[in-house]
């Protein structure tokens, strides 16, 4: 809503700040966010290879063991190593989040481009579809869809993809509309370039930045959404080590084995935090208009 003024506000105030206050530049936050994400990626890729345990192998003689040197994050109700399961879960959670976000991004961008560029009744129809999807709180609609399809991780991904592309479409469409009226596009048209050419050359680069920011912020939301639906019992089926499912099944042992609930909880939080940090910092680099468009979502 007031991105532009906010930016000037920051700058002006920064000039006046007291000497003793320490300033963390925005890009350092981005670095921290990026760092968290990179660490997670490394853990997700190499962790499962390094770990001496298998995420599904049960050892009923060492159930619910507290964290120790052999099991740094303890064992679960079936004697499985919690750390190993979390590392495999990282692959799963990041994989799901990236897949769902990509589907949302591709579908949403396509619809937004078509709507913004075609205009007329096509625009009208597509935007009413977008309005309809945005008329439901995302998780509620995803819950209904996943519930109807039946409990499975694939259905959760499907449901989250279906409900999430609408914001991209809306963002891309308004970016298109605002860019289309700008001088350089008009000039390009006047110079005789074809519509496709103009789109490719000018529209897409101007649309990419806000979409990337939205996607970065969205990944966190998708991870939370997947975890939430899994928590409600719609997601991964045992013994899949998905974080939300692990947290949900760990709550039976809330009083006996605190690590079963809190370890996946911390993992989810840090991952989402990393993506939000990065996304937030990226958002600050957007132009005032783009930033305003994001706020309207």
Binders in 83-122 for another protein, by CB under 8 A = none
How many whole angstroms separate alpha carbon 129 and alpha carbon 155?
Answer: 21
Least CB distance to another protein at residue 251 (A): 5
Quick one: which of 34, 177, 209, 212 contacts another protein (CB under 8 A)? 177
Burial readout 155-194 (b: 16 or more C-beta within 10 A, e: otherwise): bbbbbbbbbbbbbbbbbbbbbbbbbbeeeebeebeeeebe
For another protein, the closer CB: 48 or 235: 235
Quick one: which of 31, 51, 58, 285 contacts another protein (CB under 8 A)? 58
Work out the number of other CB atoms within 10 angstroms of the CB of residue 72. Answer: 13
Site string for another protein, 9-48 (x = CB under 8 A): xx-xxx--xx--xxxx------------------------
Dmax over Cα atoms in the chain, in whole Å?
Answer: 78
Residue 247 near another protein by CB under 8 A = yes
Quick one: which of 35, 72, 205, 238 contacts another protein (CB under 8 A)? 238
Residue 186 near another protein by CB under 8 A = no
Q: Which stretch binds another protein (CB under 8 A): 93-101, 105-113, 207-215, 288-296?
A: 288-296
Total residues binding another protein (CB under 8 A): 83
Residue 158 near another protein by CB under 8 A = no
For another protein, the closer CB: 23 or 69: 23
Q: Is 180:199 a contact under the CB 8 Å cutoff? A: no
Residue 205 near another protein by CB under 8 A = no
Q: Which residues pair with 81 in a beta bridge?
A: 75
Burial readout 258-273 (b: 16 or more C-beta within 10 A, e: otherwise): ebbbebbbebbeebbe
| Packing angle of the helix pair 26-50, 258-284 (nearest 10 deg) | 140
For another protein, the closer CB: 183 or 192: 183
For another protein, the closer CB: 188 or 280: 280
Residue 134 backbone phi and psi in degrees, to 5:
-80, -5
Quick one: which of 138, 164, 210, 241 contacts another protein (CB under 8 A)? 138
DSSP letter at 234? -
Residues between 206 and 225 that touch another protein (CB under 8 A):
220, 224
């Amino acid at each position: 809503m007031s991105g532009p003024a906010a930016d000037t506000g920051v700058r002006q105030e920064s000039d006046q700040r007291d000497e003793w206050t320490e300033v963390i530049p925005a890009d350092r936050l981005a670095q921290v966010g990026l760092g968290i994400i990179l660490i997670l990626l490394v853990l997700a890729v190499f962790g499962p290879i390094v770990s001496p345990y298998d995420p599904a192998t049960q050892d009923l003689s060492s159930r619910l063991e507290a964290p120790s040197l052999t099991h740094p994050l303890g064992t679960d109700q079936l004697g499985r190593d919690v750390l190993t399961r979390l590392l495999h879960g990282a692959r799963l959670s990041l994989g799901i989040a990236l897949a769902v976000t990509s589907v949302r991004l591709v579908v949403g961008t396509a619809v937004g481009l078509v709507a913004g560029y075609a205009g007329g009744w096509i625009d009208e129809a597509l935007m009413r579809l977008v309005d309809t999807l945005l008329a439901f709180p995302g998780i509620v609609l995803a819950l209904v869809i996943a519930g109807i399809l039946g409990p499975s991780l694939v259905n959760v991904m499907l449901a989250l993809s279906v409900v999430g592309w609408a914001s991209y479409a809306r963002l891309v469409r308004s970016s298109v509309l605002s860019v289309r009226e700008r001088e350089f596009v008009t000039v390009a048209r006047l110079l005789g370039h074809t519509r496709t050419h103009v789109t490719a050359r000018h529209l897409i680069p101007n649309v990419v930045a806000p979409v990337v920011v939205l996607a970065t912020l969205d990944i966190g939301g998708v991870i939370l959404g997947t975890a939430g639906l899994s928590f409600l019992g719609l997601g991964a089926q045992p013994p899949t080590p998905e974080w939300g499912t692990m947290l949900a099944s760990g709550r039976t042992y809330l009083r006996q084995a605190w690590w079963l609930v809190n370890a996946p909880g911390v993992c989810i939080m840090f991952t989402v935090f990393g993506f939000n940090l990065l996304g937030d910092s990226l958002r600050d680099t957007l132009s005032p208009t783009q930033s305003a468009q994001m706020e309207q979502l």
